[in-house]
Amino acid sequence: MALEFTDANFKAEVLESDKLSVVDFWAEWCGPCRAIGPVIEELSKEYDGSVKVGKVNVDHNPEISMNYGITSIPAILFLKNGQVVDKLVGAQPKANFVKKIEAHK
């Protein structure tokens, strides 16, 4: 299951991790966000142990969203060693996520 990243745990879970983190910025009211939800869950299972895959609810965690300038959702950031190494915006096919993960893990 995808991790839940929050304002409280983001630094420890993502920024201080030596693994690639895939962070899905989403909201319950966002249709495209719900559409890619199952893809995010699949990726969390397929890359369990090698890549951290999680979600940030922008309504509940405004600090992280503001820090990364998230203005459109879904927005998926790929972070490694505390730095953004790639991003996707909008609903995307699973293959696009896999390509980014394989390039950076």
How large is the average pLDDT for residues 32-50?
Answer: 96
* Residue 45 near residue 94, CB atoms below 8 Å: no
Please check the confidence at residue 96 and state whether its pLDDT lies above 90: yes
Q: Are strands 3-4 and 51-57 parallel, antiparallel or unpaired?
A: parallel
Query: Is residue 75 flagged as an active site residue?
Result: no
pTM, to two decimals: 0.96
Please check the confidence at residue 1 and state whether its pLDDT lies above 90: no
Alpha-carbon separation of residue 45 from 29, 38, 50, 72 (angstroms): 25, 11, 10, 26
Q: Catalytic one among 2, 22, 30, 64?
A: 30
Among candidate residues 39, 21, 56, the one with its CA nearest the CA of residue 91:
39
Q: Catalytic one among 14, 33, 39, 73?
A: 33
CATH tag, 3-104:
3.40.30.10
The DSSP code sequence of 39-50 is HHHHHHHHTTTT
Query: Is residue 33 flagged as an active site residue?
Result: yes
Question: What are the domain boundaries of the chain?
Answer: 3-104
